[in-house]
Amino acid sequence: MGSNASTKREKCYDPRDPTLTFVDAEDDLDFLCEGFASLRAQMSCGHAVTPTSLTKWCLKQLEDGESRFVCGQFGCGAEWSYAEVCKMALLTPEEKKHFERTMALNATDSRSCPGCKSSVARQILFNLSVRCKVCTAKRGRAYDFCWQCMREWKGPQPRSDRCENDGCSDLSLQTLRTCPDIVFQSVTDVTGCPSMRACPTCGSLLEHSSIECKNVVCPRCKVQFCFVCLKTTRKCLKTSTEFEPCSRGVAPRQTFIPVWQKK
């Protein structure tokens, strides 16, 4: 498990919290039999958890590359909303920041339709409205859902920013817009470069942790690219070295997430 603060201490439910349903049952997510002291509360799927066991299980899913949370009890497979996880795991502001950033980093090219849970791939990069063929056939009408908020589409289309459901927003784009700039110590005269980029090939969010040079290798698609100008390293090195400013300067903050066109 990671070094997140939530794994270093046990959290306990307030027995006076009227919004929780307490149960006299074993902790269904205490896979290591650690025997957490907190009262057990019931998730929407009916299984009993403690805030610490739930936090650990959700962190495990994030570390495995998932961006959504599924019950770990054998045979259940229920999906929990992020809002439910925040509440039931008693996530701190620091933990929420970690969860949201990792969820954005783990976002994939295909998602489960909110209507039937079948896997659907987005075909048009700049349109958030995605049609599920399974739901369309079952319902006898076009069924479109929003790629961002994962609810049935509301409002006009096509749209590339948001649908008209309340709270629709893209965590990945929010991260790209608000991340701080990186300070290169070994690359001269480079300022205003964001510390996080979406890989130009596959769209995975990457954080530049190196201060030695400007090139990174995406762990997902294995393509090496320049964090400054967003060209592939091979193209960038035709006009500059790893420790010099790029000929085209610093690429602006990205406003959309590339989709991996696998060959």
Residue spans of the domains in the chain: they are: 5-105, 107-169, 170-263
Region 87-99 average pLDDT: 92
pLDDT of residue 118: 82
Tell whether omega for the bond before 180 is within 30 degrees of 0, i.e. cis. no
Each as own residue / partner, the long-range contacts of residues 136-139 (CB below 8 Å, 24 or more positions apart, any chain) are 139/115
Is the pLDDT confidence value at 11 over 60?
A: yes
Lowest mean pLDDT among 22-36, 65-79, 86-100: 65-79
Q: Mean pLDDT throughout 192-196?
A: 90
CA distance 211 to 182: 8
pLDDT at 46: 93
pLDDT at 50: 95
Are 219 and 193 in contact by the 8 Å Cβ rule? The answer is no
Amino acid at 85: V
User: Is 152:135 a contact under the CB 8 Å cutoff?
Assistant: no
Between the alpha carbon of residue 186 and those of residues 14, 224, 233, 242, the distances in Å are 51, 19, 17, 9
Q: Looking at the predicted structure, is the pLDDT value of residue 263 above 60?
A: no
What mean pLDDT do residues 1-12 have?
A: 57
Structural contact between residues 245 and 188, judged by C-beta atoms closer than 8 angstroms: yes
The pLDDT, as a whole number, for residue 255 is 83
- If you average pLDDT over residues 202-223, what whole number do you get? 82
Residue 144: the pLDDT is 95
Does pLDDT of 12 surpass 70?
Answer: yes
| Degrees, nearest 5: CA angle 246-170-100 | 90
Task: Return mean pLDDT, the chain.
Answer: 85
Tokens of 4: 């997140």
Cα–Cα distance for residue pair 258/263, rounded to 1 Å: 15
The whole-number average pLDDT for the span 208-224 is: 81
The answer, yes or no, to whether residue 244 has pLDDT greater than 80, is yes
Q: Name the DSSP class of 152.
A: B
- The band of 106, judged by pLDDT with boundaries at 50, 70 and 90, is low
117-121, 210-214, 232-236, range with greatest mean pLDDT = 232-236
In the chain, % of residues over pLDDT 90: 41
Cβ atoms of residues 49 and 29 within 8 Å = yes
How many Å separate Cα 187 from the centre of its chain? 30
* Confidence bin at 172 (pLDDT 50/70/90): confident
Dihedral pair phi/psi, residue 77, rounded to 5°: 75, 10
Rounded Cα gap, residues 143 and 156, in angstroms: 14
What is the pTM assigned to this prediction? 0.46
Average pLDDT over residues 88-93: 94
Cα–Cα nearest to 67, from 27, 109, 123, 116: 109
Distance of CA 206 to the CA centre of its chain: 12
Residue 253 confidence class, pLDDT cut points 50, 70, 90 = very high
173: enclosing H helix or E strand:
helix 171-178
Looking at the domain that runs over 5-105, which CATH code has it been given?
3.30.40.10
Average pLDDT over residues 205-230: 85
Count of Cβ atoms closer than 10 Å to residue 77 Cβ: 11
CA 256 to chain CA centroid, Å, is 15
Q: Is pLDDT at 107 greater than 70 in this prediction?
A: no
pLDDT over 50 at 3, yes or no:
no
